[in-house]
């Protein structure tokens, strides 16, 4: 018998961000926020001026987790590999979008929930997307 795990999400949870999402499933809790597009700082000026820049940051809240840096890097890399092809960066030249992901609790589904929360936060911020990726477990 298959057990269904309750899933919930909320968007627009932080009014100071352009987009945000809280995604909870079983023992995993992820928050994603989007700021931008906004004008590029000097550190982003090396990018193609005809395309916007997309910055992703991930942080695991559990400071005691031994594999925290590895989890953060893996989630950033996975999100970047999918979302860099998804966000229509030509729609915001000379601008940057910052996506911040916070893993509050991780019961093994953080990577999947991080991507889903990120997509919902980007949609909440009205960032132009070429597609809408979705991750699931099977």
Per the model's pLDDT, the better-predicted residue between 91 and 123 turns out to be: 123
- What's the confidence (pLDDT) of residue 2? 61
| Residue 5 confidence (pLDDT) above 70 | no
Say yes or no to pLDDT of 28 above 80: yes
What is the pTM for the complete model shown? 0.86
3-state SS of the chain is: CCCCCCEEEEECCCCCCCEEEEEEECCEEEEEEEEEEEECCHHHCCCCCCCCEEEEEEEECCCCCCCHHHHHHHHHHHHHHHHHHHECHHHCCCEEEEEEEEEEECCCCHHHHHHHHHHHHHHHCCCCECCCCCCCCC
Residues 49-97: pLDDT tens digits? 778 888 999 999 977 667 888 889 999 999 999 998 898 888 888 888 8
Kindly report the average pLDDT of the chain as a whole number: 86
């Amino acid at each position: 018998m298959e057990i269904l795990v309750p899933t919930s999400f909320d968007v627009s949870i932080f009014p100071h961000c352009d987009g945000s999402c809280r995604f909870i499933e079983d023992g995993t809790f992820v928050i994603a926020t989007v700021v931008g597009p906004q004008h590029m700082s000097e550190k982003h000026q090396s990018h193609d001026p005809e395309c916007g820049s997309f910055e992703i940051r991930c942080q695991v809240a559990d400071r005691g987790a031994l594999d925290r840096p590895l989890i953060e890097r893996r989630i950033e890399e996975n999100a970047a590999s999918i979302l860099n092809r998804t966000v229509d960066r030509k729609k915001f030249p000379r601008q940057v979008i910052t996506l911040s992901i916070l893993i509050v609790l991780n019961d093994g589904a953080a990577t999947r929930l991080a991507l889903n929360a990120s997509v919902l936060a980007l949609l909440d911020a009205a960032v132009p997307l070429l597609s809408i990726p979705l991750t699931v477990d099977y």
